């Protein structure tokens, strides 16, 4: 049988797209290959959010060409994802090894596009922005045994100055609630216990088939599906977090007490330049509301350093915001100009690369101190952990995540994978925790906080 190999870069939505492409190819008669050497179809599923995305693609394509150079026939090489949508026909002009370019909104056409290339057609491309949001149920090959990604929104209408996503994923489109719940039910039937709802602005959801279903109501509906132990979502926009959503997070046991809430900067001047449409005070007030409604909620965020025009005072405001909020985790990036964005059109990339590097290291050092303090506070507490994998370091251990999204490693058998267990935390590390199973809570254990 013909074989396929998919190599994916980028966000959770990209990895879920890879699951959908795998399902489509397997329905078309393909089986998975270990790597590109044994594949008849090689898909490079790209991301264009960070710097040098196109260069990374061509570097990877060079590795593929080298790996298959001694084969009598080369595989069909497909470029998919955001770089495919962004660059289109320009990809063929720069690399003749590419056979197919398929955009973010045409994934359902992948088997027919591959078939056309295998039949001898040259330069097969489909990056049409007109997408049918429906997707055949059962055509997803889920890669994780415990969690399932479910897309609820495609595209984005925010147009932040730094972000290429509206140009690569298109305008915001909502999936019908019935399709989302069918995906969830299918995932649970396949053994998945955690559902992760995905969307560029996930909390902007409004059901096209149910006028009364906003994001908070969708959380309730997903949580009510029998067999769902946990619900997560990414990524909400701060300005769309409302009282109904906060109440849903606080009151639904299945919804994890963790919120990834991208802020990008602690400076009002930078927030305005980025077109974030919220202020520092707005964000801090929201943090206060969340912590009042959901005691112990774990907060994480995204931050950009070196955005055009960022001064030392602007950067100091970001450090001050980190100290004020005390995030449980952050994802930090040096600004890089992205094609077609407002920033690249109107704003010079005027912060030197060395200064960007200095700032991001200072930011990460501060966060490391705060994160370690959170982890040390968790020692001697007990918390529920959804076991999702064997430990990377010890075959006698398993690992899982707390409700607050912190990794915990502890001794246990593989049979625990997929189970929600009680763990007593015994040791803190910079990026994870260690513990032991706690079948009976220890008398001295403190009340656990999400960590």
What distance in Å separates the CA atoms of residue 4 and residue 398, rounded to the nearest whole number?
Answer: 30
The closest alpha carbon to 103, from 124, 73, 126, belongs to 126
Question: What's the pLDDT score for residue 130?
Answer: 66
Q: Which residues contact 436 (CB under 8 A, 6 or more apart)?
A: 410, 411, 423, 424, 426
Quote the distance between the C-alpha of residue 435 and its chain's center.
Answer: 27
pLDDT score of 439: 72
Class of domain 379-437: mainly beta
Whole-angstrom Cα distance, residue 55 to residue 69? 21
pLDDT at 131 over 80: no
Closest by Cα among 193, 65, 39, 418 to 22: 39
Domains of the chain: which residue ranges? 3-126, 147-377, 379-437
Average pLDDT for 142-151: 95
Mean pLDDT value of segment 62-71: 94
pLDDT tier for residue 136 given thresholds of 50, 70 and 90: low
pTM for the predicted model, two decimal places: 0.91
Nearest-10 crossing angle of helices 110-118, 12-27: 60
Answer yes or no: is pLDDT of 239 > 90. yes
Do 201 and 163 form a contact (C-beta atoms < 8 A)?
no
Beta-carbon count within 10 A of 102 CB: 25
Q: How many Å apart are CA 211 and CA 176, to the nearest integer?
A: 11
Pairing between strand 329-334 and 230-234?
Answer: unpaired
Reported as a pLDDT band with limits 50, 70 and 90, residue 153 is very high
Q: Residue 451 above 60 pLDDT?
A: no
Of all residues in the chain, what percent carry a pLDDT higher than 90?
84
Which neighbouring-strand residues pair with 411?
A: 397
Residues 331-340 have pLDDT tens digits of 999 999 988 8
How far apart are alpha carbons 381 and 140 in whole angstroms? 38
User: Smallest Cα–Cα separation from 359: which of 297, 417, 316?
Assistant: 316
The whole-number average pLDDT for the span 26-32 is 96
Please tell me the least confidently modeled range out of 66-70, 189-193, 441-445: 441-445
Q: What is the mean pLDDT of residues 274-284?
A: 97
Which CATH number applies to 147-377: 3.30.470.20, 3.30.420.60, 3.80.30.20, 3.40.50.2300? Answer: 3.80.30.20
CATH architecture of 3-126: 3-Layer(aba) Sandwich (3.40)
The answer to whether residue 375 scores a pLDDT higher than 60 is yes
**CB neighbour list of residue 25: distance below 8 Å, 6 or more residues apart:** 4, 41, 110, 111, 114
Distance in angstroms (rounded) separating the CA atoms of residues 323 and 310: 19
Confidence of residue 11 (pLDDT cuts 50, 70, 90): confident
Burial of 38 (0-12, 13-18, 19+ CB in 10 A): middle
Name the one residue in this structure whose structure tokens are 């969830």. Answer: 184
| Position 189 pLDDT exceeds 50 | yes
Q: Of 144, 248, 261, which is closest to residue 195 (Cα–Cα)? A: 144
pLDDT(440) > 80:
no
The reported pLDDT for the residue numbered 446 is 42
Mean pLDDT of the 222-227 span? 98
Q: What is the pLDDT of residue 437?
A: 96
Which phi and psi (to 5°) does residue 230 adopt?
A: -140, 150
In contact, 135 and 154? CB cutoff 8 Å: no
* Side-chain half-sphere exposure of 343, counting CA atoms within 13 A: 25
- The tens digit of pLDDT for each residue in 101-110 reads 999 988 989 9
d(CA 196, CA 12) in angstroms, rounded, equals 9
235-271 burial, b if ≥16 CB within 10 A, otherwise e?
A: bbbbbbbeeebbebbeebebbbbbbbbbbbbbbbebb
**CA atoms 341, 342, 348, 352: torsion sign:** negative
Q: What is the mean pLDDT of the chain?
A: 93
The pLDDT confidence band at residue 400, using thresholds 50, 70 and 90, is: very high
pLDDT above 70 coverage of the chain, percent: 96
Query: Which has more pLDDT, 235 or 442?
Result: 235
β-bridge mates for residue 186, sequence order: none
Average pLDDT over residues 173-194: 95
Average pLDDT over residues 123-136: 76
């Amino acid at each position: 049988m013909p074989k396929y190999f998919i190599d994916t870069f980028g966000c959770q939505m990209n990895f879920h797209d890879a699951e959908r492409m795998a399902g489509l190819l397997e329905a078309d008669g393909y089986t998975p290959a270990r790597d590109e050497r044994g594949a008849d179809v090689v898909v490079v599923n790209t991301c264009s959010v960070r710097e040098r995305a196109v260069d990374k693609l061509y570097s990877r394509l060079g590795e593929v060409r080298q790996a298959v150079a001694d084969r009598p026939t080369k595989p069909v090489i497909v470029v998919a994802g955001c770089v495919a949508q962004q660059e289109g026909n320009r990809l063929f002009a720069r690399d003749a090894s590419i056979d197919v370019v398929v955009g973010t909104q045409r994934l359902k056409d992948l088997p027919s596009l591959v078939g056309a290339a295998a039949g001898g057609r040259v330069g097969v491309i489909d990056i049409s922005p007109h997408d049918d949001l429906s997707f055949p149920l059962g055509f997803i090959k889920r890669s994780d045994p415990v969690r399932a990604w479910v897309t609820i929104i495609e595209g984005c209408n925010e147009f932040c100055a730094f972000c290429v996503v509206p140009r690569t994923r298109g305008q915001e489109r909502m999936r019908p609630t019935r399709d989302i719940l069918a995906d969830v039910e299918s995932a649970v039937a396949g053994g998945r216990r955690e559902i992760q709802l995905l969307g560029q602005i996930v909390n902007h959801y409004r059901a096209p088939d149910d006028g009364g279903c906003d994001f908070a109501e969708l959380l309730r509906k997903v949580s009510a599906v029998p067999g769902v132990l946990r619900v997560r979502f990414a990524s909400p926009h701060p300005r769309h977090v409302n009282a109904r959503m906060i109440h849903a997070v606080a009151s639904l046991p299945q919804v994890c007490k963790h919120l990834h809430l991208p802020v990008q900067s602690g400076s009002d001047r930078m927030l305005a330049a980025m077109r974030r449409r919220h202020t520092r005070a707005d964000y801090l007030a929201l943090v206060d509301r969340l912590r009042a409604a959901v005691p112990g909620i774990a907060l994480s965020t995204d931050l950009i350093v070196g955005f055009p025009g960022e001064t030392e005072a602007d950067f100091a405001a970001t450090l001050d915001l980190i100290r004020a909020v005390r995030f449980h985790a952050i994802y930090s990036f040096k600004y890089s100009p992205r094609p077609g964005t407002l920033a690249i059109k109107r704003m010079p990339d005027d912060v030197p690369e060395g200064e960007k590097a200095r700032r991001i290291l200072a930011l990460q050092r501060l966060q490391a101190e705060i994160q370690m303090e959170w982890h040390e506070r968790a020692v001697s507490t007990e918390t529920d952990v959804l076991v999702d994998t064997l430990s990377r370091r010890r075959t006698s251990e398993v690992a899982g995540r707390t409700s607050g999204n912190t990794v915990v490693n502890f001794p246990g058998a593989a049979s625990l994978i997929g189970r929600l267990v009680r763990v007593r935390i015994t040791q803190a590390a910079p990026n994870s925790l260690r513990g032991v199973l706690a079948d009976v809570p220890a008398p001295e254990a403190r009340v656990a906080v999400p960590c």
